[in-house]
């Protein structure tokens, strides 16, 4: 599976992946399996809600109609060359 020359990089990659997995699993454990003593109040501000709504709408439109963005990008690149 691994060439003789690539043993050390593969070992370093495995060690780094294990370290990353430790940190990610720690966050998941804290979020879902441990109780918190602090009570968090959720406040929704109108400017934040409006920005998130506009962003979600833009992503939805660009996801459904990507050709429009691609044609605009092609015109911009073609005009700059």
* Residue 74, token pair as written in the block: 């092609």
pLDDT value at residue 78:
86
Q: Answer yes or no: are the C-beta atoms of 23 and 31 closer than 8 Å.
A: no
pLDDT value at residue 6:
83
Cβ burial of 21 (10 Å; 0-12, 13-18, 19+) is: exposed
Asked if residue 3 has pLDDT above 80, the reply is no
pLDDT in tens, 19-78: 999 999 999 998 898 887 888 787 878 899 999 999 999 999 999 999 988 998 999 998
Read off the pTM: 0.43
Asked if residue 2 has pLDDT above 70, the reply is no
Collect all residues with Cβ–Cβ distance below 8 Å to 2 and sequence separation of at least 6: 10
**Which residue ranges make up each domain of the chain?**
1-35, 43-81
């Amino acid at each position: 599976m691994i060439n003789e020359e690539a043993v050390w990089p593969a070992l370093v990659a495995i060690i780094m992946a294990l370290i990353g997995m430790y940190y990610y699993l720690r966050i998941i454990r804290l979020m879902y399996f441990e109780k918190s003593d602090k009570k968090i109040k959720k406040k929704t501000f109108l400017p934040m809600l409006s920005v998130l709504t506009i962003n979600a709408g833009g992503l939805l439109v660009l996801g459904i109609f990507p050709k429009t963005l691609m044609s605009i990008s092609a015109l911009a690149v073609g005009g700059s060359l």
